[in-house]
A and B are shown apart, each in its own frame.
Chain A
């Protein structure tokens, strides 16, 4: 069903590989992990999912439609005048979307602030998830957030979709860029593996690296 919905989204073929690379992780989040429904989309203690990798949001939109956050017919006409769905998501226009993204290197910092805000207001059950692309880790702003979250042992979960799209790669692999974080490495298409990794609750930040096929393969 979600795949059928995904096919309805046209107009962003350039980003199709990055859009489809996230589909399984986002499905598992919404179908098995996140404590959020259209009815609780504004509840202060809801779980938060921040899509930092805002380019190629077709899979995200398809899942939001599948879970009832947005009407299915919004999927037709993405990026057109009067459509609520842009080629980058806008939280002001789309119910259930926590942050407007597109420019790389913003989601993790916002996620750190979100997790801190939830903790300060006494919502210990509320979890914060943020999804990034591996090339996005080249942005220095992410390094600021990675180091700080580890230093203060902030419980949040960052998911990096690794399709090996970073121009210079990562000596030591992606986990080497997250010192002080616990790490799960999963097959980015295996729903059970993804669910298990996303269900880890710690008193410190957790990294899930979801490996998918290389972008340039």
Chain B
């Protein structure tokens, strides 16, 4: 996904003089041609994430469309107040593109992990959150974001589904049956494997914000299970609001709150958080009883 992001953003910089790129050293090598070709609007501020967001806000205030990029813990967690004030409070927009959300950087430890990025953005107003489940979903997301001035977060990951579903902005039904299981982004394939042979409906979205609450209301029918690749329960408030007034039971699966103080691979961490197919199946069958 990261390579797709670099290629698409480099092309956008070539095509659209309104676009700008602000880096804080991360991925600067991959963007070397863009930095060389567009020295005025492809910028690397060094390891300065607060400044990266401030610069993005300033560029947007002059009418440009900045893309900001770093590891999720540095882009979102560290610069949270800049995101709140230098973008939101100024009524300015930017496209934030992260890698290393949740436990993608498993061997690097918790300093390089951010399971709480989407929950943090949920404290702010007006953010669109895109969580591609496949690299081929990425280019259209980035190109669409170039055409307006809204605040957009694109969360790239190393975990991918086998196939792309570029129409994932609304809930897309992939399997029809009983209770709804909603899979966000890269959680689709594990959910499909976990629910093999179970009487459930499986729906997919790569745009959890704004959440397609209308689709959720139509599909949920009393029971809903949400499987997200970030902090468990991040979408609980929106699901609760969507189903407010309807009798329902809900199960929210995702990354646990407790730090997994171990290394390994993202697959090891997925297993530890119960987000592999076996763990998901146990949680889902336990919930359905």
Give chain A's interface residues, CB within 8 Å of chain B: 44, 90-92, 98-100, 103, 105-106, 108-121, 140-141, 144-145, 147-148, 151
Contacts and interface: CB of A to CB of B under 8 A. Distances in A.
Given A109-B51, A116-B55, A148-B46, A92 B61 contact: no
Contacts of A145: 48, 51, 54
A121 B19 CA distance: 11
A186 B192 CA distance: 69
B77 to A, nearest CB: 15
Given A91-B90, A99-B61, A106 B41 contact: no
Given A109-B54, A141-B50, A120 B41 contact: yes
Contacts of B90: 91-92, 99-100, 110
Nearest to B55: A113
B167 interface: no
Interface stretch (B78-86, B202-210, B216-224, B276-284): B78-86
A121 B16 CA distance: 12
Nearest to B45: A148
Contacts of A99: 61, 90
A29 B180 CA distance: 62
Nearest to A99: B90
A114 B82 contact: no
Given A90-B89, A113-B57, A114-B62, 18 more contacts: A91-B91, A98-B61, A105-B50, A106-B82, A109-B53, A109-B86, A112-B51, A112-B58, A113-B54, A113-B58, A113-B62, A117-B58, A117-B63, A121-B64, A141-B54, A144-B45, A145-B51, A147-B46
Interface string B59-77: 1111110100000000000
Q: Which of B53, B55, B64 has the most CB of A within 10 A?
A: B55
A120 B20 contact: yes
B45 A114 contact: no
Interface of B: 20, 40-41, 43, 45-46, 48, 50-51, 53-64, 66, 81-82, 85-86, 89-91
Contacts of B82: 106, 109, 141
A92 B82 CA distance: 17
9 contacts: A106-B86, A109-B50, A109-B82, A110-B54, A110-B86, A113-B62, A114-B62, A148-B51, A151-B46
B13 to A, nearest CB: 11
Contact of A106 (B54, B59, B64): B54
Contact of B50 (A111, A114, A119, A140): A140
B64 to A, nearest CB: 5
A144 B91 contact: no
Q: Which of B41, B53, B59, B63 has the most CB of A within 10 A?
A: B59
Contacts of A115: 58
A116 B45 CA distance: 12
Contacts of A112: 51, 54-55, 58
Contacts of A106: 54, 82, 85-86
A134 to B, nearest CB: 20
Contacts of B85: 100, 103, 106
Contacts of B41: 116, 120
Contact of A121 (B45, B46, B62, B89): B62
A183 to B, nearest CB: 21
A140 B48 CA distance: 10
B58 A144 contact: no
Given A99-B90, A114-B62, A115-B58, A141 B40 contact: no
Contacts of A117: 20, 58-64
A147 B50 CA distance: 13
B167 to A, nearest CB: 34
Contacts of B56: 113
Contacts of B59: 113-114, 116-117, 120
A98 B41 CA distance: 21
B57 A109 contact: yes
A112 B66 CA distance: 14
Nearest to A115: B58
Given A100-B90, A109-B82, A109-B86, A141 B61 contact: no
